[in-house]
Every structure is written in C-alpha cells, then in structure tokens.
Amino acid sequence: MTNRSGFTLLECLIVLAVIALLSSLAAPSLARLVARNKAYDYTNRLYASLHFARDYAISNSVRIVICKTRGGTHCRRSGDWSEGWLIFEDTDHNADCVDSNGDRRCDADNGRILRIGDGFGDGRYALFGNAHIANRVWFDPSGFANGSNGTFSLCRDQAGKTVPVEGIVVSNPGRTRVTRDTKRLSCS
C-alpha cells in the first residue's frame, strides 16, 4: 500500500466554506472603512484649502476669498461646495470673482486666482456651509475670518436619507478645525 498525501474533496469544501463565512463577516466592516476614509479625504481637501488661503492672506498681506464654484471660472450662489471652490485675491473687497477669458485673474479687480479646488461630486456626498459661509469664506491680511465664521457639514446619502458625517468649523480669528460631532452639523 502506497502512502498518498493531499486533501480530499470534502476537506477542500470545508475550507472554502470557512473562507466564505469569514469574508462575509469582514465585508461590511471593509465597506464602512472605505466610506469613512472617503469622508476624511473629502473633508481634508477643503480643510487644506482653508489653511492655504489663510496662510497666503497672512504671508502676502492681502484679503483672500474662497467661494464655491463649478468649472473654476466664477463664484456661485447655488449648489453646494462639493462641486469645487475658487481661492482668489480679493483686491476690491467685493468677495466675487469671474474669469471670463481664462487668464486665471478676476475680471473686475484683476485679483489672481490662486487655486481651483476640484471638489468631489460623486453624487453620494454633499458639502454645505451654514449661514455665514453658505457661499464664501474670506480671510483678511491678518488671517482673521471676521464675518465668515461658521461650519461646513459633509453629508452622505445613506439609505435614502442625508446624514452628516463630519464637519469643519471656521472661527472669527480664522482658526479651522475638523469636528466629528454630528449633532451640531446640518445637511441643508
């Protein structure tokens, strides 16, 4: 009688069943992890832009405005911040920018467009600013955000309901911070 090594069909099926069971238990956790990381990425994009704008305002002694946009050519009053944003020098203090000829300068005051945030309009997430920052945020040459303090709320469509995931708080002195206290965030 010869000695044979290997696995029987039954042993292979049992191992496959155990792997399938463990995979089904891990899949929901993995989906939550991916969703959480996507939310962190989206929030950090705007957070980094706010820091850049404040630092630029202080370093160059100029008023800087961030406004929501779609396409990067002008500030918008409709839609939400997930479609993108403009960061520009606001030399005439009107908090508005239109670049009709594509030269990366605001037509009215010749202020430079410093950055265009691409946004993240994937359809599942939206980014809203409350009353003072619904359309724009500005930083004066000392870095203060007087009059444009407020909270951004990143919201996600979850089972047909829009729920807040996390937010960014902008204070009058210009300090920004990320908050995960969803009780204080609004998705409208």
| Helix (H) or strand (E) run with residue 33 in it | helix 9-60
Rounded (10°) CA dihedral 136, 47, 149, 132: 30
8 is a domain residue: no
Residue closest to 171 by CA, chosen among 68, 50, 88:
50
Q: What is the pLDDT of residues 83-125, one digit of tens each?
A: 999 999 999 999 999 998 989 999 888 899 999 998 886 778 8
154 is a domain residue: yes
- pLDDT exceeding 90 applies to what percent of the chain? 52
Give the pLDDT score at 176.
Answer: 96
pTM: 0.82
The boundaries of the domain holding residue 76 are 45-184
Q: SS3 of 14, please? A: helix
Number of domains into which the chain is organized: 1
Query: Which CATH number covers residue 143?
Result: 3.55.40.10
155 is a domain residue: yes
Token pair in block for residue 71: 């396409």
Length in residues, the chain: 188
Q: What is the pLDDT of residues 156-188, one digit of tens each?
A: 987 788 899 999 999 999 999 999 888 889 887
For the chain, report the end-to-end CA distance as a whole number of angstroms: 78
5 is a domain residue: no
25 is a domain residue: no
Give the pLDDT score at 81.
Answer: 94
